[in-house]
Amino acid sequence: MPAPEPTAGQQAAFGRPGSVTGSFSADRPVAPTPPPPPPPAEALIRAFGPAAPGQRGLQEPPSGRAGRRRTASGPWWKPDARTDPWRDPYAPAGLGAPAVYPVEQDEQEGPVVVDPRGRRKLRLGDLSVRLSALVLLAVLLVGAVGGAVGWYLSRATPESPLFAPGTQLSEVDPGITREPGSVSEIAEKVTPAVVSIEVRVGQAGATGSGVVVDADNGYVVTNNHVVSGADGVDGAGIRAVFSDGSGSEARIVGRDPASDLAVIKVEKPGLVALSLGRSENVVVGDPVVAVGSPLGLAGTVTSGIVSALDRPVRLAGEGSDTNAVISAVQTDAPINPGNSGGALVDATGALVGINTAIASTGGGSIGLGFAIPVDTVRDISEQLIDDGRAVHASLGVNARSVTDGTRDGALVLNVEPGSAAANAGIQQQDVVIAVEGRPVGSSEELVVAVDRFAPGDEVTIELVRDGSSREVRAILDAA
């Protein structure tokens, strides 16, 4: 809606004269110019004036550069004083955010309030007196009821007597049923056929184990290194201790240092002999049980598996005349010193090896034990029982293990004059790589390969000479 036109009176009172073109008359009075302010005192100029013409803001403190903190002589100066807008009269003004004030809990209504951080809290002061009294009464009532029940139970339950004559504890009925072929069944069958062997030489003594292989004649097979120290020594004695605790003096029937086997004879009726298995029936992974007297603990039974077969193992003398390389049955059944000469049997309780050595870093079992195969035990034991000595096949060479990086073999160091090797034309520096088609990768494997045959057998020897391979025929000697 347009504004109404002014009346004649309003035009006369407030209208612009016709001779005036601007908002105000040119001859209006002008306010007098104020006199300039007097110059500041010299002390104020020195204290607060800029350090140089044209410089804005605060000048340096009287002591020079601004310090790291305020001091009594320079209470207003710090490193950031020059950039402080409150100290710089030329700093521009700016509009900041509005002030925010925390809400006081007293200004909020109700028992539940929110603090400045947004957390909800219960204000007990706003709870009604009636509700507070009810809560307190409930707590007191619960406590009183609990105390009364506890007192009643403690008074009503009589204290039981300390002793109860004639008490019998429960037992399993029926007894535990053991599966056929379990370790417990094998141990019950084998333990009577395994003996502990005690050897006395002067003031010294040693222990080992043995296996009864002929109950009628009292023959016990063990390791040569167990009994060799007592052979032919005045005052030395060998005693066999059986599973029933009885004992018997033993005599050496024969020893074979080349296989680390020996046979002793005991005089005791009612012996139990262990049946002998066959090496060809043993495979890697078969469960086996070792029985013997490790560390002098008679009748100890451990179990494991066959972890390897035909493992060439050189047996050290250990204070005896044993000098053997065997094609061992390797097992992880724990074997310790004192197991030597003990039985390694299969799941049927048949003998598959005579425990003879362990692989050890500190004298104890680390899960690698070695046993003489049962076929070797049978052959050597029969020879020793026949005439007290055993005969082995011999090639007549001394060798050491070598490899050229691609193929292993046994390097011939010397050849015995008139031996089977000499007659076959084997020379020093020849490298034997096979015997009768069986690979030979070390000097131990050469001994094991030859020992598989009997004296007088003719075998084919494959060897490398001057970089080329050739074959020779050798008739093995007796050793």
Question: Active-site residue among 256, 260, 451, 477?
Answer: 260
Within 191-332, residue ranges assigned H as helices are 224-227
Rounded-to-integer distance, Cα 429 and Cα 452, Å: 24
Strand partners, 354: 343, 372
**Is 23 tagged catalytic?**
no
> Residue 27: CA atoms inside 13 Å, Cβ hemisphere, count?
2
Question: In sequence order, what DSSP letters do the residues of 301-353 get, joined into one string?
Answer: EEEEEEEEEEEEEEEP-TTTT--EEEEEEEE-S---TT-TT-EEE-TTS-EEE
**Is 392 tagged catalytic?**
no
**Angle 47-50-56 (CA atoms, 0-180°, nearest 5)?**
135
Rg (CA), the chain: 55
**Is 234 tagged catalytic?**
no
Q: Which are the contacts of 395, defined by CB distance < 8 A and separation ≥ 6? A: 419, 420, 421, 426, 446, 450, 461, 474, 476, 477
**Residue in 194, 241, 236 with CA at minimum distance from that of residue 341:** 194
Question: Active-site residue among 340, 365, 381, 419?
Answer: 340
Asked if residues 422 and 416 have their Cβ atoms less than 8 Å apart, the reply is: yes
Strand partners, 196: 209, 241
Cα separations (Å) of 123 from 104, 107, 129, 130, 135? 13, 12, 13, 16, 15
Per DSSP, the three-state class of 374 is: helix
* Phi, psi of 299, rounded to the nearest 5 degrees: 70, 25
Question: Active-site residue among 196, 209, 225, 228?
Answer: 225
Which value, to the nearest 10 degrees, does the dihedral of the CA atoms of residues 44, 50, 52, 55 take?
Answer: -160
Which residues does the annotation mark as catalytic?
225, 260, 340
